[in-house]
Structure 1
Amino acid sequence: MDYTKEYAQKLTTAEKAVSVIKSGDWVDYGWNMATVHDLDSALAARVEDLHDVKVRGGVLMDVPEIFKVKNPGEHFSFYSWHYSGVERKFAKEGFITYVPVRYSEIPRYCREDIPPIDVAMLQVAPMDKHGYFNFGPSGSMEAAICERAKHIIVEVNDKMPHCLGGFQTEVHISKVDAIVEMKEPYARCMPPARAATEVDEIVAKTIVNEIPNGACLQLGIGSMPNAVGSLLAQSDLKDLGVHTEMYVDAFVDMAEKGIINGTKKQLNPGRQVYAFACGSQKLYDYLDDNPACMAAPVNYVNDVRVISAHDNMISINNIVNMDLYGQVNAESNGLRQITGAGGQLDYVMGAYLSRGGKSFICCSSTFTDKSGELQSRILPILHSGSTVTDTRANIQYVVTEYGMVNLKGASLWERAEKLISISHPKFREQLIAAAEQQGIWHHSNKI
């Protein structure tokens, strides 16, 4: 069947497309690199006509035009599934809020729990000959959004990779109400990760030594997981697989060197499975029409039961800080939201449930604050208002530049002792004194 006539009938300008949006509407903006661009500009241009438009999105890579209008909070409010630096910067202005989530549950939220979506505006790859628009590398919950939306507008970006999958990776033109073609298409690329520090490399080496041939990998975002990926790409490991929330450049490097082939995976053998991808142009070129890679909705990819079905599942994630009880905060600085929960808990749990699996929480033992003072990431107890991303019972391995400890089965006394042993030496006496005051330091404990 030829869909060119229907395409032409639904093709319109961004200005006309957004004219359907009314004050009070819920509007979806897409996710990460597929956040709408021309439609955003057109909506911002209507600012004087609109009030209380509620916009959802997440992991923004550019500052939306609706953030730049005069008094944006009088016209728009933005609800983020996961903060990037963009949302974090603008949150203090009062028109942005964070939605606490388990990333794996967002498709269900969209189908059952949140208010109906009045208008969904999604960036997509060009339509194929069968009439489908592919969600590209950002389709983790877009199919669920389209199911619930009253009105669907697609913004066609011919620079977006066409990402193959198994299911829920596209929307058919028959479901689409309006089509807008980007005037100046481009792919949103992440800036290069900062160079790995000596601390990153020490932590990475510790973790890489724990990874067997045939393992299945999940890497979080950040310099430490990137350092692990770089070391793996230089290793003599073989037959590694990928089942990960976020697909990053390190996987491309490993695949091109033959270290990743997925032959030992229990599910989807031979395919690198991911919920969304973000990185360099090299990454997007690699994903484009590549049958070795499989985009899938996040309620499948991050399902603990699916994760744990892979033998030797290895999960590697960063944190903000943690306390002597083993409570992990990976998303806030006290009351200030700085990122999001994402799927970290799903992979911490899923990797431990996997046969031979291991979950690693990694961090530098310290950081330098804005005043130039050295601060410990291992705290007596989390700061007031901090989010507990991973509860104390969930944590398995914790790694800093001073070593690795396993908290599974450890008592409160043992947890304190183990975590202090991998803290920075400058803070150990302070942590011991705090542990004693909190009643979690035993007289037989030794450092």
Structure 2
Amino acid sequence: MGFSSEYNNKLMSAMDAVSMVHPGDWVDYGAFCCAPEYLDAALAMRQDELWDVKVRALAFPGVAAVAKVAPESGCFVYNSWHFSSGERKSHDRGSCHFIPFVYHEGPSHYRQNLHCDVCMVRTAPMDSFGNFNFGIANSFQRAIIENARKVIVEVNENIPRCLGGAEESVHISEVDVVVESDNKALLTLPDSAVTAVDKAIATHIVQQIPDGACIQLGIGGMPNAVGKLIARSELKNLGVHTEMLADSYLEMFEAGKITNSEKAMDRGKMVYSFALGSQRLYDFLDNNPACASYAVDYTNGLFNIAANDRVVSINNALEVDLYGQVSSESAGFRHITGTGGQFDFAYGAYHSKGGQSFICLSSTTRDPAGNLVSRIKPVFDPGTVVTLPRSITQYVVTEFGMVSLKGKSTWERAEALISIAHPDFRDDLVREAEGMRIWCAANRNDEVLHMVGACA
């Protein structure tokens, strides 16, 4: 079975491919490392002849060329489902807009709510069966392609072939145009620095993880610290069902901690939707049958998460207020990232048999003036986005301890959270809680307050 003739008939230059975009179109990019950087640069070169072209992306690696075009020109309107560092900078300049959503609903938006004129996605080279693999960024690419009027694939030889799972590729028969790119190297992430605070938080969490747990880790130094501790622990027969696969999973796998042998779903497989990390991680995923790439409505589907026993979900936060609301997306009106799958896994893990959801943050940070401020706050600043409502939050962890908020009244929550705040801020938080009427006679003296930091 040969598809080379069809491939060659659909092959064209990047500039010819982007000529398919017309004024007023909606253009969707592939996600993360499968964003079409080569086609993006070509599309931006048409800025003098296009107007009102709306682009949707998801964590573009760096700053998209179309987002560099002056927004006041009216040529491009750039939008993102989840900010990368480059998109955060574009947002600060007024050239990027955020699309609020919870990650598992991404495919349904394209199947129910949205319209796409042109889809552009970076893929692995076509295989002998005519398939272009989405590589390390499955996400909701299939749903976009099924919705799109025109489909353009940007072939990059550095994209690993990530086996499914499901919905991990597009066939040549579904593609309108093939563009062979400059084969730019994929974005890699340096090993996240692990601080003493990260280690302290990780220690609290790892002590709670049972053998046979199914692990989901977010991105950053603290989840990386958890992975390193697990790799050196006595834990065994761990499983993986996650949205993001990072180097910490590779470290745990190589240490023999991950076997996926006790999972109820996809036994024997590490299930994920996208990967971000080192080149070594990408090489590990290439043609590896121990790993399964799925669309995000599968990995982050609430019932799918809960179907595995002992799911342990570990995610970062920016701030937590005394009601137990979690903000992981913005600082006031400055948008930083997105909801991602934090809600999905916090909810799904809690409903797993023996499952646990951990929200982690250092007790303090520095404000723009360099002043030390508490990350446990009475209330959020105006504009701050709530990622987890107070009814969803289970465990909150800082370097000073871990508390459970499930089933607790407002005064119990305030007491628990203040007990794991930095000691320098606890008295002020008590006074604020009193003014908020979530501190009462049942809240005991300071000696008891300082004892509450153990897991409730």
TM-score (norm 2): 0.96
SS of 1:404's partner is strand
Q: Which residue of 2 aligns with 1:436?
A: 434
Cα offset, 1:370, TM superposition:
1.9
Q: Which residue of 1 aligns with 2:151?
A: 152
SS of 2:257's partner is coil
Cα offset, 1:95, TM superposition:
2.7
Once residues 386 and 166 of structure 1 are traced to their aligned partners in structure 2, the CA distance between those partners, rounded to angstroms, is 37
User: Is the 8 Å Cα contact of residues 62 and 85 (structure 2) preserved in structure 1?
Assistant: no
Note the 1:249-328 alignment, pairs <5 A.
Answer: 249-328=247-326
Deviations 1:270-316 (A, max 9, x none): 10001111111011001110011011000011011000011000000
Q: Which residue of 2 aligns with 1:189?
A: 188
User: Is the 8 Å Cα contact of residues 158 and 183 (structure 2) preserved in structure 1?
Assistant: no
Compared CA separation, residues 331 and 71, structure 1 to 2 (3 A): closer
Unaligned runs of 5+ in 2: 450-456
Once residues 442 and 256 of structure 1 are traced to their aligned partners in structure 2, the CA distance between those partners, rounded to angstroms, is 51
SS of 1:294's partner is strand
Amino acid at match of 2:185: Y
- Whether 1:50 aligns to 2:50 is yes
- Whether 1:32 aligns to 2:48 is no
Once residues 71 and 219 of structure 2 are traced to their aligned partners in structure 1, the CA distance between those partners, rounded to angstroms, is 33
Once residues 73 and 205 of structure 1 are traced to their aligned partners in structure 2, the CA distance between those partners, rounded to angstroms, is 52
Q: Which residue of 2 aligns with 1:230?
A: 228
Cα offset, 1:72, TM superposition:
6.6
Compared CA separation, residues 125 and 72, structure 1 to 2 (3 A): farther
- Whether 1:4 aligns to 2:1 is no
Cα offset, 1:247, TM superposition:
0.7
Cα offset, 1:192, TM superposition:
3.1
Q: Which residue of 2 aligns with 1:420?
A: 418
Compared CA separation, residues 73 and 409, structure 1 to 2 (3 A): farther
Cα offset, 1:394, TM superposition:
0.8
Q: Which residue of 2 aligns with 1:140?
A: 139
Q: Which residue of 2 aligns with 1:89?
A: 89
Amino acid at match of 1:264: E
User: Is the 8 Å Cα contact of residues 70 and 95 (structure 2) preserved in structure 1?
Assistant: no
Cα offset, 1:71, TM superposition:
5.2
User: Is the 8 Å Cα contact of residues 238 and 262 (structure 2) preserved in structure 1?
Assistant: yes
Once residues 397 and 174 of structure 1 are traced to their aligned partners in structure 2, the CA distance between those partners, rounded to angstroms, is 48
- Whether 1:173 aligns to 2:172 is yes
- Whether 1:332 aligns to 2:347 is no
Once residues 13 and 416 of structure 1 are traced to their aligned partners in structure 2, the CA distance between those partners, rounded to angstroms, is 60
Q: Which residue of 2 aligns with 1:124?
A: 123
SS of 1:47's partner is coil
Once residues 285 and 36 of structure 1 are traced to their aligned partners in structure 2, the CA distance between those partners, rounded to angstroms, is 21
User: Is the 8 Å Cα contact of residues 73 and 95 (structure 1) preserved in structure 2?
Assistant: no
Deviations 1:333-366 (A, max 9, x none): 1122110000101111111101111110111000
Once residues 109 and 71 of structure 1 are traced to their aligned partners in structure 2, the CA distance between those partners, rounded to angstroms, is 26
Compared CA separation, residues 178 and 337, structure 1 to 2 (3 A): same
Once residues 63 and 433 of structure 1 are traced to their aligned partners in structure 2, the CA distance between those partners, rounded to angstroms, is 44
Cα offset, 1:37, TM superposition:
1.5
Deviations 1:204-223 (A, max 9, x none): 01100000110000001111
SS of 1:6's partner is helix
Once residues 39 and 136 of structure 1 are traced to their aligned partners in structure 2, the CA distance between those partners, rounded to angstroms, is 18
Q: Which residue of 2 aligns with 1:63?
A: 63
Q: Give percent identity, aligned residues only.
A: 50
Q: Which residue of 2 aligns with 1:76?
A: 76
Once residues 25 and 285 of structure 2 are traced to their aligned partners in structure 1, the CA distance between those partners, rounded to angstroms, is 35
Once residues 183 and 375 of structure 2 are traced to their aligned partners in structure 1, the CA distance between those partners, rounded to angstroms, is 44
Once residues 374 and 416 of structure 1 are traced to their aligned partners in structure 2, the CA distance between those partners, rounded to angstroms, is 21
SS of 1:325's partner is coil
Q: Which residue of 1 aligns with 2:211?
A: 213
Once residues 177 and 444 of structure 1 are traced to their aligned partners in structure 2, the CA distance between those partners, rounded to angstroms, is 68
User: Is the 8 Å Cα contact of residues 214 and 241 (structure 2) preserved in structure 1?
Assistant: yes
User: Is the 8 Å Cα contact of residues 59 and 82 (structure 1) preserved in structure 2?
Assistant: yes
Amino acid at match of 1:207: I
Cα offset, 1:369, TM superposition:
1.5
Q: Which residue of 1 aligns with 2:393?
A: 395
User: Is the 8 Å Cα contact of residues 71 and 94 (structure 2) preserved in structure 1?
Assistant: no
Deviations 1:226-251 (A, max 9, x none): 11011111112110000001111100
User: Is the 8 Å Cα contact of residues 76 and 95 (structure 1) preserved in structure 2?
Assistant: no
Amino acid at match of 2:131: Y
Amino acid at match of 1:149: A
Give the count of matched residue pairs. Answer: 445
Compared CA separation, residues 71 and 413, structure 1 to 2 (3 A): closer
Cα offset, 1:63, TM superposition:
1.6
Deviations 1:391-421 (A, max 9, x none): 1111111110110111111111100000000
- Larger mean CA deviation between 41-50 and 65-74 belongs to 65-74
Amino acid at match of 1:313: V
Alpha carbon RMSD of aligned pairs, Å? 1.1
Once residues 378 and 76 of structure 1 are traced to their aligned partners in structure 2, the CA distance between those partners, rounded to angstroms, is 39
Once residues 407 and 23 of structure 2 are traced to their aligned partners in structure 1, the CA distance between those partners, rounded to angstroms, is 54
User: Is the 8 Å Cα contact of residues 154 and 176 (structure 1) preserved in structure 2?
Assistant: yes
Cα offset, 1:444, TM superposition:
3.0
User: Is the 8 Å Cα contact of residues 80 and 99 (structure 2) preserved in structure 1?
Assistant: yes
Cα offset, 1:70, TM superposition:
4.9
- Whether 1:106 aligns to 2:145 is no
Once residues 188 and 16 of structure 1 are traced to their aligned partners in structure 2, the CA distance between those partners, rounded to angstroms, is 26
Once residues 69 and 94 of structure 2 are traced to their aligned partners in structure 1, the CA distance between those partners, rounded to angstroms, is 14
Once residues 39 and 213 of structure 1 are traced to their aligned partners in structure 2, the CA distance between those partners, rounded to angstroms, is 46
Among residues 245, 248, 251, which one is paired with 1:247 in the alignment? 245
SS of 1:314's partner is strand
Amino acid at match of 2:80: S
